[in-house]
C-alpha cells in the first residue's frame, strides 16, 4: 500500500477548475517532485493532501486513512504530515526555540523538561543550533526557512510537503535550504515537493510529476522525463525552465 494514495480528485475555486481528476501514489521513502507552470494546480494539490483545502470529488488517503472524511481526527493527522510554505510562516512573536517547541508541547508530544533538547536536536539537523535563542526577524530568509523545516521535524512527521520553499529566497540562500532537504531525502523521509528548482528535482527526486491544466500530464524518473519528454507541453516547459 502506498503511503499517499490520491484518487481522481477534483477541486474548483468558484468557476475555475483547478484540479480535474488528479490521481497519484507516493510510496514510503519516495521523493516526488511536482513541476509545472503557475496555475497548473501544484500547490492546490499539496494543500488538499494536508486538508488545507477541501476536495469536490475523489479521495486522498495517507497511511490508509481518508483525509477529508475524518475531519474530527484532523489535528492528529496533521501532526504526522509536515508542510513547509514558500513564506516560511514562522511565528514572529516567538523565539526560534518556542517556534519549534510550541506544537510538541501543546499536543503532548514532549514535556517542558525535554523541549529545549528537542529544539536543539532538530536545529542541529538543519545546521542552526546557534540560533535557538534568536527571534525569527533576526534570521536571513534561508535561515528562517530552515527553522520552518526544523519546526516540522520536531513533530516527527511521516510525510513532508514542501510548497515552493525556495521561491521567496535570494539566489545565494537557496542552496542552504536545498542541502537540508537533500539530507532529509538521504535519511529516507517521504517527501512531496512543489519546486521550480529543476536541478534539485533532477538530482534528488525519485520521480517527477509534471502537472498541466489541473491534471497529471506526465510522470516518470527524472533522467527519462528530462531527456525524453513525451508531450510537447513538458518539452516546452523544460525548455522554458532552462
Partner 1 sequence: MNFLPLWRYQNQLIDGAIVTLELTVVAALFGILIGVAGAVALNGRIAPLRWLVRGYIELFRNTPSLIQIFIVFFVLPTFGLKLPAFEAACVALSLYFGAYSVEIIRSGLDSIPRSQVEAGQCLGLSGWQVFRHIVLPPALRNAYPAVTSQFVLLLLGTSLASQVAADELFHVAGFIESRTYRSFEVYAVICAVYFAMAMAFKALFALVGAAAFRWPRRR
Applying CB under 8 A, the residues found at the interface with partner 1 are 50, 52, 75-79, 81-83, 85, 87, 89-95, 102-103, 106-107, 135, 137-138, 151-152, 155
Element containing residue 202 per DSSP (H, E): helix 198-204
The residue among 133, 50, 9, 150 whose CA lies nearest residue 90 is: 150
Return the number of the residue (50 or 166) whose C-beta is nearest partner 1. Answer: 50
Nearer to partner 1, 50 or 219 (CB): 50
Minimum CB–partner distance for residue 170 and partner 1 (Å) = 14
Residue with Cβ nearer partner 1 (90 or 180): 90
- Nearest distance from C-beta of residue 95 to partner 1, angstroms: 8
Least distance between partner 1 and beta carbon 234 (Å): 30
Beta strands (DSSP E) in the chain are: 4-13, 16-26, 31-36, 57-62, 65-66, 81-84, 159-163, 190-194, 207-212, 215-220
Residue 190: CB minimum distance to partner 1, A:
16
DSSP 75-120: HHHHHHEEEE-TT----TTS-HHHHHHHHHHHTTSS-HHHHHHHHH
Looking at the Cβ atoms of 52 and 198, the one nearer to partner 1 is 52
CA neighbor of 20 nearest in space, from 8, 29, 28: 8
CA atoms within 13 A on the CB side of 128: 31
| Distance set, CA 47 to CA 114, 134, 140 (Å) | 31, 30, 26
User: What grid cell was written down for 101?
Assistant: 517547541
Q: Which residue has the cell 536541478?
A: 199
CB of 120: closest distance to partner 1 in angstroms? 19
Q: 26 or 153: whose CB is closer to partner 1?
A: 153
Q: Compute the least distance from the CB of residue 237 to partner 1, in Å.
A: 27
Instruction: Name the residue nearer to partner 1 (CB basis): 160 or 234.
Output: 160
Amino acid at each position: 500500500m502506498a503511503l499517499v494514495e490520491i484518487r481522481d480528485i477534483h477541486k474548483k475555486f468558484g468557476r475555475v477548475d483547478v484540479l480535474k481528476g488528479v490521481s497519484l501514489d507516493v510510496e514510503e521513502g519516495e521523493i516526488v517532485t511536482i513541476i509545472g507552470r503557475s496555475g497548473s494546480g501544484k500547490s492546490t494539490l499539496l494543500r488538499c493532501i494536508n486538508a488545507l483545502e477541501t476536495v469536490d470529488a475523489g479521495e486522498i488517503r495517507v497511511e490508509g486513512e481518508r483525509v477529508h472524511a475524518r475531519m474530527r481526527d484532523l489535528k492528529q493527522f496533521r501532526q504526522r504530515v509536515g508542510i513547509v510554505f514558500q513564506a516560511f510562516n514562522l511565528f514572529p512573536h516567538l523565539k526560534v526555540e518556542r517556534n519549534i517547541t510550541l506544537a510538541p508541547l501543546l499536543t503532548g508530544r514532549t514535556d517542558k523538561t525535554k523541549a529545549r533538547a528537542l529544539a536543539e536536536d532538530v536545529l542541529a539537523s538543519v545546521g542552526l543550533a546557534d540560533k535557538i535563542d534568536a527571534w525569527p526577524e533576526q534570521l536571513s530568509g534561508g535561515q528562517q526557512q530552515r527553522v520552518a523545516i526544523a519546526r516540522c521535524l520536531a513533530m516527527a512527521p511521516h510525510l513532508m510537503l514542501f510548497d515552493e520553499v525556495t521561491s521567496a529566497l535570494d539566489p545565494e540562500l537557496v542552496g542552504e535550504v536545498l542541502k537540508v532537504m537533500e539530507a532529509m531525502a538521504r535519511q529516507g523521509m517521504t517527501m512531496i515537493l512543489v519546486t521550480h528548482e529543476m536541478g534539485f528535482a533532477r538530482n534528488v527526486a525519485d520521480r517527477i510529476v509534471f502537472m498541466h491544466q489541473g491534471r497529471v500530464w506526465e510522470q516518470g524518473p527524472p533522467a527519462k522525463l528530462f531527456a525524453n519528454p513525451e508531450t510537447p507541453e513538458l518539452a516546452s516547459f523544460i525548455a522554458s525552465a532552462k
